[in-house]
């Protein structure tokens, strides 16, 4: 299978991932900061994606269970967070994605969300993966910073063992010494060979874990170069954490993309995605 041809096609609300479909955007704030902020940002993201002709899945976490410091903001919690995500879904018509951290969270989250995300640190947790698979929802597995691209196949197989093949694999960088990550572009090709849609989480990929002492730092100046490289390598979707004022974000601000820079980035990435897919498509009349 080539990096841009074939593979599983997953329909998620009004968005499609894989199977040669156009680039899909997964975007939103790292964490739900408030109901008003999340809904307002979702509406702005929807307008931008619509303007650029890019399908959008809104993402936000109700709880960030793996913050660097015990004093860091974690979010509104499961019940209130899912209520807010449900309201966003009703108000915007967008499909929504959120993290699940424990088996007990899967059922309630699946009642509201279209995609359940397995955090990178939990990508080997068998019970969590199996329960997410049993939900019937699409399951986005973040590849752990400690995993090789070929090892993430085992995580996907745990979900598929339930009969649910609606699996997405997301690259978010691999540990490169202390407080640093690096994206091996070969991993995008390797993971695509498993037949599932592949996403590049371009904002966590520029994170510096624990690089600010009690919090993580980031290098947002590298978001666009990595995004362009990922699209050129044939990814099916781009995962971007977005905030209108990253310096005020309550979680992962140092590696977030500023909202006012998203539109031009999407325009360039869509053009590149079309070029890559046109280049990979067989010529008319060819065998």
Q: Is residue 287 part of a domain?
A: no
pLDDT in tens, the chain (287 residues): 444 455 899 999 989 999 999 999 999 999 999 999 999 999 999 999 999 999 999 999 999 887 667 878 899 999 999 999 999 999 999 999 999 999 999 999 999 999 999 999 999 999 999 999 999 999 999 999 999 999 999 999 999 999 999 999 999 999 998 989 999 999 999 999 999 999 999 999 998 887 666 667 789 999 999 999 999 999 999 999 999 999 999 998 999 999 999 999 999 999 999 999 988 765 544 45
Q: HSE, CB side, 13 Å, CA atoms: give it for residue 180.
A: 4
Q: Is residue 230 part of a domain?
A: yes
Total of domains in the chain: 1
pTM over 0.85: yes
Q: Is residue 40 part of a domain?
A: yes
Residue 202 phi, psi (nearest 5): -80, -20
Please say whether the beta carbons of 198 and 191 come within 8 A.
yes
134/55 Cα distance (integer angstroms): 26
119 is in which domain, residue-wise?
Answer: 10-278
Q: Is residue 170 part of a domain?
A: yes
Q: Is residue 37 part of a domain?
A: yes
25/28 Cα distance (integer angstroms): 10
Q: Is residue 4 part of a domain?
A: no
What b/e string do you get for 30-56 counting C-beta neighbours within 10 Å, with b at 16 or more? bbbbebebbbebbeebbebbeebebbb
Any idea what the CATH number is for the domain that residue 173 is in? 3.20.20.70
DSSP 244: S
Give the pLDDT confidence score for residue 6 in this predicted structure: 54
**Residue 59, by phi and psi: left (phi above 0), alpha (psi -120 to 50) or beta?**
beta
Q: Is residue 5 part of a domain?
A: no
Give the pLDDT confidence score for residue 281 in this predicted structure: 66
Give the pLDDT confidence score for residue 67 in this predicted structure: 65
Q: Is residue 283 part of a domain?
A: no
**Dihedral sign, Cα of residue 74, residue 252, residue 103, residue 116:** positive
């Amino acid at each position: 299978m080539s990096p841009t041809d074939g593979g599983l096609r997953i329909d998620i609300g009004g968005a499609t991932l894989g199977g040669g479909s156009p680039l899909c955007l997964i975007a939103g704030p790292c964490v739900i900061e408030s109901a008003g902020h999340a809904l307002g940002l979702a509406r702005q993201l929807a307008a931008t994606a619509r303007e650029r002709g890019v399908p959008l899945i809104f993402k936000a976490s109700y709880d960030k269970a793996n913050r660097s410091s015990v004093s860091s903001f974690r979010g509104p919690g499961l019940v209130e967070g899912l209520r807010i995500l449900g309201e966003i879904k009703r108000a915007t018509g967008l499909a929504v994605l959120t993290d699940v951290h424990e088996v007990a969270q899967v059922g309630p989250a699946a009642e509201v969300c279209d995609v359940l995300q397995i955090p990178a640190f939990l990508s080997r947790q068998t019970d969590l993966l199996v329960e997410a698979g049993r939900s019937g929802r699409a399951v986005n597995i973040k590849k752990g910073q400690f995993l090789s691209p070929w090892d993430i196949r085992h995580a996907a197989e745990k979900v598929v063992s339930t009969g649910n093949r609606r699996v997405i694999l997301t690259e978010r960088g691999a540990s490169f010494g202390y407080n640093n990550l690096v994206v091996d572009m070969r991993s995008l090709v390797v993971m695509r060979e498993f037949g599932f849609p592949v996403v590049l989480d371009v904002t966590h990929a520029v994170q510096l874990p624990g690089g600010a002492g009690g919090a993580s730092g980031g290098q947002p100046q590298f978001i666009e170069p990595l995004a362009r490289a990922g699209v050129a390598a044939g990814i099916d979707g781009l995962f971007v954490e977005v905030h209108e004022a990253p310096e005020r974000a309550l979680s992962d601000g140092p590696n977030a993309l500023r909202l006012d820079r998203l539109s031009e980035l999407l325009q360039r990435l869509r053009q590149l995605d079309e070029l890559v897919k046109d280049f990979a498509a067989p010529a008319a009349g060819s065998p």
